[in-house]
Structure formats: C-alpha cells, structure tokens
Amino acid sequence: MRAAERVSPADVGLTKAEYQRICDTIEREPNAIELGMFGVLWSEHCSYKHSKRLLRRLPSAGARVLQGPGENAGAVDIGDGLAAVMKIESHNHPSAVEPFQGAATGVGGILRDIFAMGARPIALADALCFGDVQHPRTRYLLDGVVGGIAFYGNCVGVPTVAGSVAFNPGYTSNPLVNVLCLGLVPKDRIVRSLASGAGNAVVLVGSATGRDGIAGASFASAELSTEREEERPAVQVGNPFLEKLLIEACLELVGDPDLVAVQDLGAAGLTGAVTEIAAHGDCGIEVDVEQVSRRERGMTSREVMLSESQERMLVIVRRGAESRILRVFKRWGLHSDVIGRMTDDGIVRILQSGTVVAELPAVFLSRGAPEFVPLQPEATPTPDPMLPREEPVRPLPVPQDLGATLLDLLAAPNICSRRPVFEQYDHMVQTNTVAAPGEGATVLRVKGTGRGLVLGLGGNARVCAADPWTGGALAVAEACRNVACAGAEPVALTDCLNFGDPERPDVWKSLEDVVEGMREAALALGVPIISGNVSLYNETMGVAIPPTPIVGALGLLEDVDRHARAGFRHGQTAWLLGPLGGTIACSEYGALRDWEDGAPPPLDLALERRVQACVRDLVAAGVVQSATDVSEGGLAGALAEMALTTGVGVACTDFCASAVASGERVDAVLFGEGPARVVVGSASDRADAVAAAARAWSVPCTRLGATGGDRIEIARILSVSLGDVNERWATSFDHLGDE
C-alpha cells in the first residue's frame, strides 16, 4: 500500500455517493493523495456529517460569548479584560487500543486547541468511563489511561483539577476518555485560525512528521474490530516536553503583529490544518511536502499529508517576518519550516518538489461532506406516559441494617473516593487551585483580579440509557449544579457526545433525544454551549456504549473568597434544598441491590434553576459555607461525602418520617437519586436566612440536623462511625476488581 498508492474510495471510508459527489464537483476522479485527504476530512471525526444538523440546535449565544463553536475552542468574557477559553474533546478509540498513549495524546490535543487561541492553558479536567470492574482488561485500561493523563499533564505544567471516573458494563470494550481544557487570554489577544493575505508564509513548527497515526481520523470514525492490536500504528505517541516548548513559544508570539493565524494539527494532520485555515479565511493555500521535515526516510506525499504525528502547529506569518519568527521558535529549541504560502484562489494545492500532486477547492474539501439523513427508526412501542411507572418485577425488601447498606454504597465503584486517581495528577501547579479535587467543585483563582473560576462536570450513563432526553438534560443540569454548589454562576458549557454507530436507528434516536434534552436544559438554565466534540462509532462487535453526553460547565465567582466547599464544618446546620424523596430506579443503590432499571426520576428544569439560584444566593450572602449536590448515593451518600471530606460528622433528626408516613420507602429517601437537590451546611444561627431564601425561590427545604462529632447519625435509623465509613470509602478504589 505504501508503495503502490492504489486506493479505492472504500479504503478511505468514503461511500459511493460521497465519491460521486467528489467526482461531480471537481469534474474528474481524485488521485490517491486527494482521495486520502477526502477520506480523513469527510470522516465523521472531522466533518461531523452525522451530528452537524443536531449540533446547530444547541444554544451558543450569550452576552459573555466572544467565540462560539467553529474555532479551535470557545471563549467567554470573564471581566477584567480577560477571556476564558474552553473545550472538551474525546480520545476514546486510541485509548481503547493503547490506553497510556491514547490518553496522553488526548491531553496533548486539547491543550493545542486552547493555546492555538492564544490562551495559556490553566486547567485540565477529564471524564473517564470504564467497563465492568471485574473484567480483567478494566484495571489495565484504568491504570493506563490515568497514567497517560498524569504523564502528559504533569510534565506540561497544567494542573488536572477535576474529573470523574465511572464504571458501567456498557464500556467494557469501549472506554471513554474525554478531556477538557480551560485557558486564559486577554480578550483583545484571542488568536483565530482565520488566515488571509496571499503571500503570507505557512510555517510548520514542532515535531518532525512520521508515519505514526496515519489517518487516525478515519480510524476514530469506524467501529473497533477484533484485530485492534493491529491498529496500533494508528495511535500516536506523545512528547509532553515538546508540547511545553510549543506552548511557551506560541504564547510568546501572541500579540505579535506578524502572527496572522494559528491552527493546531490534530485529527487529519497537515491535511486538516491547511484545509481548515484556507476554508476558514476563504482563501487558498499552497504547500510543498518536500519542505516538511520528516522522522523517517521514504515517506510518500500521501503519508506526509495524512500523518497525525503529535506536537505540531501550523502558524501563518506575515510575508517578510519569516526569519524573525523562526528565530523565536529556535530560541525555544523548536524546529520550524516554511512549507508554503497563502494564496487567494480558494484552492488547497499540494506540491512535491514543485509538481502539483493534489489540487482541491478548500471549502468543498472542508465542508462538502454530505450531511447524513437518518433512516426512520423502526416503530417501537413507546411507553404510554400516562401509565404508572413500572414497578419492579420482583419485590425489593428494605434492608434491615441501613448503616451497613450505606457502607456498601460508599465502597461501590462509582462512589468510593477518587483520591488514588487525583493524587497522581499535579493539581496544584500554576498556584491557582483554591479548592482542590476531593473538596467539591474545583475553584481556581484568577491572579490579580479577585475573581474565581469553577469547573463542574455532568453525565450519567444509567439515566441516559434509560431515557436519553432526561440523560442529556441532566448532564447539563448536573454540571451547572456542581458549579452552583461552589456559589458560582455558570457562564459557559462545553460538551462531548459519545455514541455508537449513528447509522443505526436506535443510536441515532438516542443522539437526537440527548441533544434535545441538552438544548432544553441549557436554555432553561440560560447557559450557552460554546464548544464541543462528537465521538461516534464507540462500539465493538455491533454492541454500542450507552449514550454518553459529558458536559463541562465553567462557573464565575465575582469574589473568589466567597465560595462553598463540599466538607462540613463544626457547628453547622445541615439542610436539604429540593425535594426529599428519591428514586431507586437508575440509582447506584438500585445497582447495588441488583434491581432492574426503570424510568429515571423526572427532571423539572424550572425547579432545577430555582434550586441552583437559591444555593448561589446563600453562598454569596455568606450564609452557606458547605454544599454538595445529591447525586450517586442519594441523600445519605451526600451527607457522608460532606462528613468524610473534612472529618466532621453529622447528627440528623428523623427527617424521613413525613415521607415514610406518606408512603415512601425509607431506603428510597436515604439512597434514592433525583435532580434539583443540594445538601448545604449553614452557620447554625442563620436558619432564618436559609428558610427565607428557600421561600423566596419556592424551593422545598428540609432541616436535616447539626454537624459535629465523629459519626453519621440519622435518628434511630442509621448510625455509623466516620472511621468505619472512611475505611471502606477511602480504600475501595485501589482494590476494584480484586477478589
């Protein structure tokens, strides 16, 4: 293949219809190099041909939005002349094959998206999903992915400050690695990938180009086969040291009048970067592959154009300033080459020693992929919403020892302490981390401003699998709720949509429903979605992952000193804001009891908005210093988390009594899950203020008890010592899958 260059449309993943469209438009058959270029750029990974239509529905406008979807990353105004730049991206397929390098290069890729905008990356967060903890491969994948993130993030000096690790049998063959990066830049210095000016120089800087990751975008747009080991060459190898030099060199050039545009080389390598930069600026580009420094001898033009070698950036430099800019790179120990010029004819032209080897219209190459038209899903009987909720097939007795149940729940794979993970990440470098992982939502200071930024993540596979609309809406609500618990106003969202094969009607339908749920929640909560990424074909042997939207929320604190953390303090009153009862269906407790999932609890977006506003007000007023949302593990799980975080116990009254009297199960009240719920700790003399805020926002409010001591007690229902709880909670993660 390397020598013969004899390629068919199917080899590069193009359909017959797509191939015909190419021939019709360029009025000839594309050659092997051109076909390869279409193959990667018209893959789902690059063209979003399956998801574009849906993504347009997501709200992306807002008063603070400086850059919405369409650039390397989105940006919002956070005051003081600063912009926060944010994006989340997946690296699922490479991580399934080679977890360490797959995850490491995922970090590298998202960092380049951020500093391509001129922003200094200030934080990373990652959402990881793995399969059955008992499966022998799960531990290998988990250790590899966490090790890869630590290897890359720690070395480049960007703190990994937040994250989630979820286990669900649906991810056993297809783990998910979604990495979010946040950056800061003076808002008048945002760099865009908008090139212009015929004659300006096209400079390639960073790593030399090798055969690694040839056509990785096409690889990421197909199902994994059983011969995954043979796909290893499609996974790239990361060099975080080189990336660190690239960051510093590129940031030194921000604001330089001779720097016209910057584009990172990610999926589709040089092909993607030159095409994007030409299509974006509505101009043309001419590149000679002979000028590209290589790592290996004998590479063909096609290989150079399709390589996904890491740590490379494309920089457009004003004509005449080339040698000065190249000297800056040299000072940082970076190699750079002038590989071509911008033109004004709208054509991407690839030369090899002066001979044209590919010549294609930039906009067509970039955006010409026909959008996918979904098949009508087969008519499946939809449950009548008026019918009562499904009752469990078999009875579920209320446990005798609810304390023991709480301990088991806190030791569950999805709930136990993540300290063994986040201690492997440098979460303090750059000295902005005010509230670290393990203390609730991460709070970062913005040096020199008095403001703070908060990162929150949301996404719940179990709910998405049961009800994609609710799952999509809940991912947005949860991410915003996490931010609200710190006392911050959510100002921007970024999302990563992880799904199976979109051409399967059930997968398509779930994608549509998830996006609709996210849209409605983002509108209800008034937060724009400024960037995102779609990862499809997450399936193996025809079995897809559960639909998995991961949402990241950026929150803004006007006064960084005024924020709440998850841990209780001594002498507080504990309250529940939001409804008291929870649902066992779709809960961790249900999973623990091996109870079949039914419908998830309904999500009332108006109530969600009011609960979040209420918490925010109480934190801003200084009434509440501790807050965490009720998620996996339910109300008792939230109380335990708050107690474990600081080692301060809590003694509750029988707050379950009224619910139980009205027919609720006590285990559903304690461990059931549901949205729009937050546990807060207030100064004990501010009970009136809590009640008043709850009334003002029409939020149900229940006084739970008082903090202090070294036990978690709920009247005569449950009493466990913090030491015993901590023993299970803190040590379980390192022993997952043992036995």
Partner 1 sequence: MIESRDGLAGVSVRFGVVVFPGSNCERDTLHVLTDVLRQPADLISHESTDLSGYDCVILPGGFAHGDYLRAGAIARFSPVMRAVERLAADGRLVWGICNGFQVLVEAGLLPGAMLQNAGLRFVCRWVHVRVDADDTPYTHSTSSGAVLRMPIAHHEGSYFVSPDQLARLEQRRQIVLRYCDADGAATPSANPNGSISSIAGVCNEARNVFGLMPHPERCAEPILGGVDGRLLFESVLSRTSERHAATDGDSRPRALSAAPGTGVAGG
Report in angstroms how near the CB of residue 13 gets to partner 1 at its nearest: 35
Report in angstroms how near the CB of residue 243 gets to partner 1 at its nearest: 10
| DSSP conformation letters of 175-244 | -EEEEEEEEEEEGGG---S----TT-EEEEEESPB-STTTTHHHHTTS-B-TTGGGGGGGS----HHHHH
Query: What span, in angstroms and rounded, lies between the C-alpha atoms of 157 and 615?
Result: 34
Q: Is residue 402 within 8 Å of residue 666, measured between CB atoms?
A: yes
**Of the residues 24, 27, 561, 739, which one makes contact with partner 1 according to CB under 8 A:** 561
* Position 231 contacts partner 1 (CB under 8 A): no
**Of the residues 70, 81, 199, 333, which one makes contact with partner 1 according to CB under 8 A:** 333
* Position 571 contacts partner 1 (CB under 8 A): no
Stretch that binds partner 1, among 238-246, 283-291, 470-478, 504-512 (CB under 8 A): 238-246
Query: What span, in angstroms and rounded, lies between the C-alpha atoms of 191 and 113?
Result: 11
Question: Residue 312 to residues 239, 243, 351, 552, 609: CA-CA distances in angstroms?
Answer: 11, 8, 20, 26, 43
Q: Which of 91, 93, 427, 563 is catalytic?
A: 91
* Position 433 contacts partner 1 (CB under 8 A): yes
Query: What span, in angstroms and rounded, lies between the C-alpha atoms of 42 and 19?
Result: 11
Report in angstroms how near the CB of residue 252 gets to partner 1 at its nearest: 10
Report in angstroms how near the CB of residue 247 gets to partner 1 at its nearest: 10
* Position 654 contacts partner 1 (CB under 8 A): no
Q: What are phi and psi of 420, to 5 degrees?
A: -60, -20
Could you give the count of Cα atoms lying within 13 Å of 4 in the half-sphere of its Cβ?
Answer: 4
> For the chain, how far is it from start to end, CA to CA, in angstroms?
48
CA 552 to chain centre: 6
* Position 208 contacts partner 1 (CB under 8 A): no
Tokens representing 316?
């457009």
* Position 560 contacts partner 1 (CB under 8 A): yes
* Position 101 contacts partner 1 (CB under 8 A): no
Residue with Cβ nearer partner 1 (245 or 348) = 245
427: annotated active-site residue: no
Query: What span, in angstroms and rounded, lies between the C-alpha atoms of 653 and 651?
Result: 7
**Of the residues 55, 321, 363, 436, which one makes contact with partner 1 according to CB under 8 A:** 436
Stretch that binds partner 1, among 9-17, 410-418, 432-440, 578-586 (CB under 8 A): 432-440
Stretch that binds partner 1, among 62-70, 149-157, 392-400, 534-542 (CB under 8 A): 149-157
* Position 689 contacts partner 1 (CB under 8 A): no
45: annotated active-site residue: yes
The amino acid present at 271, given as its one-letter code, is: T
Report in angstroms how near the CB of residue 429 gets to partner 1 at its nearest: 6
Report in angstroms how near the CB of residue 567 gets to partner 1 at its nearest: 8
* Position 431 contacts partner 1 (CB under 8 A): yes
Query: What span, in angstroms and rounded, lies between the C-alpha atoms of 243 and 246?
Result: 5
- Three-state DSSP class for residue 74: strand
Q: Which of 45, 93, 280, 563 is catalytic?
A: 45
Report in angstroms how near the CB of residue 632 gets to partner 1 at its nearest: 23
Contacts within 8 Å (CB) and 24+ apart, 333-337: 333/245, 334/205, 334/206, 334/242, 334/245, 334/246, 334/249, 335/205, 335/206, 335/208, 335/293, 336/203, 336/204, 336/205, 336/206, 337/203, 337/204, 337/205, 337/291, 337/292, 337/293
**Of the residues 324, 389, 447, 735, which one makes contact with partner 1 according to CB under 8 A:** 447
Stretch that binds partner 1, among 123-131, 434-442, 534-542, 665-673 (CB under 8 A): 434-442
Report in angstroms how near the CB of residue 151 gets to partner 1 at its nearest: 8
Q: Is residue 339 within 8 Å of residue 194, measured between CB atoms?
A: no
Question: Residue 453 to residues 2, 158, 314, 423, 492: CA-CA distances in angstroms?
Answer: 49, 15, 30, 21, 11
Residues 152 to 171 in contact with partner 1, rule: CB under 8 A? 154-157
Residue with Cβ nearer partner 1 (347 or 421) = 421
Stretch that binds partner 1, among 124-132, 146-154, 264-272, 479-487 (CB under 8 A): 146-154
Stretch that binds partner 1, among 241-249, 322-330, 350-358, 625-633 (CB under 8 A): 241-249
Q: Is residue 141 within 8 Å of residue 166, measured between CB atoms?
A: no
Q: Is residue 310 within 8 Å of residue 237, measured between CB atoms?
A: yes
Residue with Cβ nearer partner 1 (244 or 728) = 244
- 186 burial via Cβ count (<10 Å: 0-12, 13-18, 19+): middle
Report in angstroms how near the CB of residue 427 gets to partner 1 at its nearest: 6
**Of the residues 34, 113, 286, 426, which one makes contact with partner 1 according to CB under 8 A:** 426
Q: Is residue 596 within 8 Å of residue 392, measured between CB atoms?
A: yes
**Of the residues 332, 595, 604, 721, which one makes contact with partner 1 according to CB under 8 A:** 332
* Position 563 contacts partner 1 (CB under 8 A): no
Q: Which residues are catalytic?
A: 45, 91
- Footprint of partner 1 (CB under 8 A): 147, 150, 154-157, 239-242, 244-245, 332-333, 422-431, 433-436, 439, 445, 447, 560-561
